[in-house]
Structure formats: structure tokens, C-alpha cells
Structure 1
Amino acid sequence: MTNRQGIPIWYELISADADAAERFYGHVLGWQFERMPATPELDYRVANAGSTAVSGVMQQPAGEDMPRRWLVYFGVDDVDSSAQTAEQVGASIHVPPTDIPDVGRFAFLSDPFGALFYLMRGASEEDSQAFKCGQRAPQGHAVWNELTSPDPDAAIAFYGTLLGLRKEGGMPMGELGEYSFIHAGPNCIGAVMGEVPNGQAGWLVYFAVDDIDAAVERFGQAGGTAIQGPDEIPGNCFAFVGEDDQGSRFGLVGPRTR
């Protein structure tokens, strides 16, 4: 894929019950799922927003201790070189650079503070459309990537060295520190902040919805648990954080239209 280095190019939920996840997110976000050919080792479904592939759901393999949460794939030009750099600046490599035929090359890591993420170079020369800059993206696309870290400044420095991400602007949160915006080139892809009450360390993904109140209503109908919001944010939009019916946390962003 030709996306700028540091742009999120894919999102993945590792689930204890992929069938239940398919029902939940299909109801809340309107995703339609395409099941990849199953093998004894892997049950993987691709979620589509309209005609665009935006994320994947992986059934947790039996007997394997994998984190059941949403994960971000960051695009890089060279997975092997980037993984080496990451290790040199304090990351842990859980899966070394590995090829997936006809998909791309990836590595699975955690940053120096334990936040999990992927590096990937996609096999396709077309840009990924999974992440859309701007809150008014089509429903179902990721629009914001928020990192909660015990040391935000050091985390920003780490991802700056690895991915070229940089801090540009922010919002003060009083005793909780600063909500620092991070950019990949000209694109603001999200923010980094310190630990907060009811927060969860690591990367949190926010998906766009057409109407925040209708989406939160669907979220409740599907069995989700509200954590925070909807709260008004700049841009005449509202943000909501919750957990799906299996406890995986994510966010929703959208306007209030009714």
C-alpha cells in the first residue's frame, strides 16, 4: 500500500466469539462481513462499510493467549527495518516480520509501555481506505486513534522515531495533563494522553457514525456497556466510548442530527 508512513491502514478485533462480534458490529455500525476461507488455525472475517473493507475480526485461536481488543495496523515502507528500529528504541516484538500471501508483510509489537500495535506493508499498491481523516467520514470508517500511556511524552518520542509521527497542538485537561494531537505528515490521526479515570492503557479506535444518538441507541440494543459520553467535541460532533458485548473497548464519533 502506498499510504504515507505512520497512517493507520487496518484495524483488527481479536474476539472470543467472532459470530457474536459480527452480530454486534453489524447492528451498531452497519458493517457487512466477508468470511475468509477458514482453516483449523484461523477464522477471519473482513468487515465492509459499504463497498470498502475497513477492519477485520479474528476468532481467538483455541488455547492461545491473545489480547481480546481492537488493534491498529500502522503502514510502513519497510516492515523489517521498522521492526528493527522499534526494538532498538524499546519495543518488544511478539511476532517478527512475516508474510501473508497476497495481503502483505506485518509484525506485531508492543511499545515500551506495553501498548500493542502492528506494522504492515500491504501487498496492494492502492491506498487503504480504512482510516479517514475528519470526523464527518462515512459511517463505519475509523476516524481517530487515541493512545493512553503512563508517559505520553516518551510515547510520542517513540512513535516519532519509529513512524515519523509528531505532536502538533493539544488541549489542556487540567490535572490530567495534555491531550496531544499527533500527525502523520499533514494528517492529524489522533492523540496521546496520560492515564485517566475509567481509561484503558493502549490504543483506542473511534469509528464514524451518521448520528451519535441513533448509534448509541443501537449500541445499547446490541448489549454494549457505556463508559463515557456522548460528549461534545470540536467540529459540532459528539464522542462516545463503550465496550461491546464481550468487553472490547472502542469509540464512536458523529453529529447529533435529531
Structure 2
Amino acid sequence: MTLRDGTPIWFELATADRPAATDFYARLVGWVIAESPAPDHRDYVLARAPDGERVAGIMSPPPPGAPGGWSLYLLTHDLEATLATALAAGGKVAFGPMDIPHVGRVAVLHDPQGIVVSLMQPEREEPGRPFKPEPGAIGHGVWIELATPAPEAAFAFYGALFGWTREGAMPMGEMGEYAFMGAGEARPGAIMSSALTGAPARWNVYFLVDDIDRAIDAAQAGGGTLIQGPDAIPGGDYSANILDPAGHQIGLVGPRP
């Protein structure tokens, strides 16, 4: 099945201490992490979910001038056309386009509010799916979330790029609305106000874990910090956000067995 443009297609952590990050996330999410088999991808390790599928990469050090942290890659089948649309809608190209052997063509974009998001036109669509919002997809990305000072402007911008529209919302009182985004049957995540919630203006990714309390305990035992949750969410699971030992934020979703 051909994936729709805008589908999260890869997750990547740039951090100063790759071995420490590898150990931390293996314990946190249950990933099996090993060096990339590609000889020209040295200093890059690949994380596999318990089902064996590749879900994320970890690299060090961060690119020059980059603060490090998690990057979200969204799918496009025509990178140049998507970048042209982004520029016309007020975005800016921060890096690329660049060809990565055995991977595809990538670019890093600043949306009109200055929030970073990466784009990828893959060489081919593999059967594995790093983003798999399904029950039981332990270790996969299952939700993405944009905190932005201008939610309606974000809907306009990403709608121009990927056809996303507002698909309902959950009121959060004085913190505004948690507005769901989607196109067709795809519902990858939500947009909220960073100004009202106080959340950092950024994209955040949530990975599914087998036990939210176990994962939080593992994060804290490994030097991480719990900054939100665990909070009950629709469907019976719980969400949490942690900072890893280097201060990079990641989201977790999981049950209380």
C-alpha cells in the first residue's frame, strides 16, 4: 500500500554521547540497537522494535550548529515540489535537498513559526513501518504532536503541504484546544498552542511501550527526568514525556498492565 504524503517515515536522534543514548533507549523502549550495515553510514546506529522492524536512528555528534535532539521525518513522494509549496507558504529550507545513499533524498525545513521538521523522499517504500499507530506495535512511533504559537497558521501550512485538515478537537480549558489533524483516513497526531500550554514550540514523537510505569522507572533509573504524566488518554493507555540524560524530550504511550 502506498503511503500518503505527510506520513511519519523516520525518527532520528542526534546526541553528543551515542553509546549512552543507545543504552538508555534500549532500556526505555525495548529497542535492539546495532550499527548500520551500510559501510558509508558509520557513526550511525539503527534501532529495531521488538517485531524486528527498523524504527529510528541515533547519530553523534549533532551536525554543526544543531542543538541535537529528536528529528521527525515526514514522507513526500516529490521533495522538490513539497519544498516549493513550503516556500510559497512561508517556510524556509534550513538544509538540503541532499541525497543519502541507500535511503533517499532529504531536506530540513523551518515552518513559518520557525519550527523544524524534516522531509524524506525515500529510494523505495519498504514493508517496515517506523510509524505504526496500532495496538501492540511496541517500540514504534504511534503519535506525533506539534506545539506551536500559531495553531491555525500551522494547519494552513501543513495543510498546503500534505492536505491535513482539522479533524475535531479536545478542549483543554485555559490551555486552548488539542486539535487533531489528518487527511483521508490518516490521523497521525495533533496540534496545540505552545503559548497557552507552555510547551516548547516543537514537534514531539510518542513511542509505544509495553508498560508506562516500567518505562518511566527505567528512564529515571537511567538518568532521565519525567516532565509530564503519566496521564490517562482515550483508549485506556497513558502518556508521559521524559527528558533523556542529555536533555532531549521524547513522548511515551503505554498501558498499565
* Cα drift, residue 126 of structure 1: 2.5
Q: What does residue 220 of structure 2 align with?
A: 220
1:45-60 maps to which residues of 2 (within 5 A)?
A: 45-50=45-50, 51-60=52-61
Cα deviation digits, residues 78-119 of structure 1 (max 9, x gap) = 011111111111111011221112211111111111111111
Structure 2 length-normalised TM: 0.93
| Consecutive unaligned residues in structure 2, runs of 5 or more | none
Report how far residue 172 of structure 1 moved.
Answer: 0.6
Coordinate RMSD, CA, aligned: 1.8
Does structure 1 conserve the Cα–Cα contact (< 8 Å) formed by 2:14 and 2:62? no
Cα distance, 1:197 vs. partner?
A: 4.6
> Are 1:138 and 1:210, in contact at CA under 8 Å, matched by a contact in 2?
no
1:28 matched residue in structure 2: 28
Q: Distance in 1 between matches of 2:16 and 2:210?
A: 29
Is the 8 Å Cα contact of residues 2 and 127 (structure 1) preserved in structure 2?
no
**Partner residue, 2:10:** 10
CA distance in 2, matches of 1:242, 1:147: 16
CA distance in 1, matches of 2:128, 2:78: 16
Which residue pairs with 2:145 in the alignment? Answer: 146
CA distance in 2, matches of 1:148, 1:240: 15
Deviation at 1:137, TM superposition (A): 3.7
Length, aligned pairs only: 254
Aligned-residue identity in percent: 44
Unaligned ranges ≥5, structure 1 = none
- When the two structures are superposed, what TM-score results if normalisation uses the length of structure 1? 0.93
After superposition, give the CA deviation of every residue in 1:7-33 in whole Å (9 maximum; x if it has no partner).
101011111111111011011111111
Given that 2:53 and 2:128 are in contact with CA atoms closer than 8 Å, whether structure 1 keeps it comes out as: no
Mapped to 1, the partners of 2:164 and 2:96 lie a distance apart of: 22
Cα drift, residue 125 of structure 1:
3.1
Whether 2:174 is the aligned partner of 1:175: answer yes
Letter in 1 for 2:10: W
SS of structure 1 residue aligned to 2:139: coil
Question: After the TM superposition, which segments of 4 or more aligned residues of structure 1 sit over 6 Å from their partners?
Answer: none
Give the 3-state SS of the residue equivalent to 1:84 in structure 2. Answer: helix
CA distance in 2, matches of 1:42, 1:91: 32
Given residue 149 of structure 1, which amino acid in structure 2 is its aligned partner? T
The answer for the alignment partner of 1:243 in structure 2 is 243
- Using the TM superposition, name which of 90-99 and 5-14 deviates more: 90-99
Per mean C-alpha deviation after superposition, the further-off stretch among 161-170 and 145-154 is 161-170
Q: Distance in 2 between matches of 1:11 and 1:238?
A: 21
State the shift of 1:42 in Å.
Answer: 5.9
Equivalent position SS for 1:98? strand
